[in-house]
Amino acid sequence: MRAVLVLYFKYFLSWDDDLATSIYHTFVALCYLTPILGAIVADTWLGKFKTIVYLSIVYTIGQAVLSVSSIHDLTDSDRDGIPNQIHVHVILSMLGLILIAFGTGGIKPCVAAFGGDQFEDHQEKQRNRFFSIFYLSINAGSLLSTIITPILRGEECGIYTKQKCYPLAFGVPAALMAIALIVFIAGSTMYKRAEPRGNILVQVSRCIAFSIGNRFKHRSKEFPKREHWLDWASEKYGKQLIAQTKMVLKVLFLYIPLPMFWALFDQQGSRWTLQATTMDGDFGPVQIKPDQMQTVNPILIVIMVPVVDAVIYPLIKKCHINFTPLRKMTVGMFLAAVAFVIAALVQIQIDKTLPNFPGAGESQIKIINLGNANATVHFNTGTSFSVKNLASTGYTTFETAQLKDINVTYGNETWSNKFTHMEKERRTLEITNRGHIIADLLVDDVTAKPEQGMNKIRFINNLNTTINITMDGVEFGEVMYFAATNYTSFERGAKDIVVDTGLQNCTAKSRVFGYGSAYTLVVETCNSNGMTLTYIEDIQPNSFSMAWQIPQYFVITCAEVVFSVTGLSFSYSQAPANMKSVLQAGWLLTVAVGNIIVLIIAGASKLNEPWEEYILFAALLVAVTVVFAIMAYFYTYVDPAEVEAKLVEEEKKEKQPPVWGNGTGPVAQTRM
């Protein structure tokens, strides 16, 4: 569903890039904040199995609500293809996303931990293999979805008017989630279910609070120091709970730097997708949509997880390198920073291919000479152009405040006029000398790259009669002489063009349009010999291939394999038996904080260029990685099962009654 979510925000709800990105990351953050609730419910009341079942139902309902919210006919009372009450769609969308966030967030910590529960303590190798397969399965699903969901979105559907089919793109995941839930329930008799052990999170919180309060009361130097600050809770709480709390806090402290990794990683679905919209998706026989580029990540995951698990790690071990989990995670964080440096370099190259659109206080004008002789156009700013017949200039930038008079000369005949110009506006000055000089200043709706890699096409009629124009089944209606149609969006490829003059019907095949271009097509002739069209490029098509995004996806996938898979296993292995879901939720919480970091930096950053923001994120992650590496160096790995068993044994010994000898006192014990 996330594969098309940012495009749904931008193109269906008509939000700008910044708002779409912000809401996207807010949603992702909520999805990873709610796991703490799911963990509490699972470990305290319902157990992992029931929590997964109940919250999966909430998840499915939310997905269905989101699908309904994307039906444009829902509020399209005048049947023009545009919802009349967009706020209804926004409210339903937000309701659906909130339900999804609570559903997916609630089950996230339970699914991984529930899988881990199926293994015994001595099956550590098999459990680690399970986490790899589990992560592989997630990305296999992601691979299918990032291929299929954009295709479903690309279909056109609707009751009254046809539009991009977001209801289908969101509805299919809802149906699949319902099927998955049924399959999961069907296997319920085979699962090993650990019973919930009470409100452990509340106990831990109270233990921490009591320890802090007790330490504050005994802050005087007359009280001897204790080995750990949590030992000040020993007056009220048992050794086992204190030891478990120490283990959890030790890992949670280590998690503090981790959100920065996710701040970069989750931008694949927002900034990197938007980056792809300005690139060329032509891969020869295959055409890739911007939101389909995300398939590179799950494809590489499916390939690399088994390769890394079965080949790379064993090779490193044979080289006698102690590649501990925390060292793996450190390498992963560094690789993510490298991926963003690559993304910045790609963005710099993309920027070189983008048109120079007018900024504040600027206007742009291009000239099209539709006459049968050369013309000279003079602006009051002192700029002049000589334009051949049936030719055009590129866009020229002027200061809006200074631009007033325009003079057009054909031979000895001159035409002049004053125009009112608006800043940040592009215009086309069309001129002709047929009969007498005629000039018109058209407003060009091409002050940004066309959305979703589409192509904007308009026509100018240079025939001395009114004509009807149809392109690829889209009717432009009647077009009078010297008039221009509005721009209409078309997908990539060659299109069939039909021009009807009333006396003659002409057909032609257009040139192959690429991605993200805009053209003005001038109809010059339409007779028994066919049709003549002049193509004037208003915005050049995307020329920088999406293939250049593959290196950044490859590097960040390498980062994900050594960071995320390792983190899941590490979180489970270092958690006490009754707090597996809680520590999984803590791990997922780092993802939420990472997405919040994106919101904060994106909102506070004053950087104008996307590549500058990429470099900023990379630099921040490098700094954080150094801090994490230092923290990891001082971390001591523990075996929770061994620690707990030792404490249980000690408690048993303490509870045993003393053994008396000869009626005179306890038997003396020899110190070992």
Is the pLDDT score of 2 beyond 80?
no
Which residues are CB-neighbours of 518 under 8 A, at least 6 positions away?
446, 450, 455, 456, 457, 487, 537, 538, 539
Which residues are CB-neighbours of 60 under 8 A, at least 6 positions away?
103, 174, 177, 178, 181
Give a three-class secondary structure readout of 190-204: HCCCCCCCCCHHHHH
Mean pLDDT for the stretch of residues 552-559: 94
pLDDT given at position 199: 62
pLDDT tens for each residue of 383-397 = 999 999 889 999 999
Mean pLDDT for the stretch of residues 620-637: 92
Is the pLDDT score of 17 beyond 80?
no
Nearest partner of 535 among 521, 556, 515, judged by Cα: 521
pLDDT given at position 665: 47
Mean pLDDT for the stretch of residues 60-86: 85
Among 307-311, 342-346, 434-438, top mean pLDDT goes to: 342-346
Which residues are CB-neighbours of 651 under 8 A, at least 6 positions away?
238, 239, 240
Mean pLDDT for the stretch of residues 531-558: 93
- When the pLDDT of each residue in the chain is averaged and rounded to a whole number, the result is 86
pLDDT given at position 526: 92
Residue 432 pLDDT grade (very low, low, confident, very high; cuts 50, 70, 90):
very high
Is the pLDDT score of 584 beyond 60?
yes
Distance, in Å, from the CA atom of 563 to the CA atom of 636, rounded to the nearest integer, reads 19
Centroid of chain to Cα 669: 66
Residue 669 pLDDT grade (very low, low, confident, very high; cuts 50, 70, 90):
very low
pLDDT given at position 455: 93
Is the pLDDT score of 659 beyond 60?
no
Query: pTM of this prediction?
Result: 0.76
Which residues are CB-neighbours of 466 under 8 A, at least 6 positions away?
478, 479, 480, 481, 502
Residue 301 pLDDT grade (very low, low, confident, very high; cuts 50, 70, 90):
confident
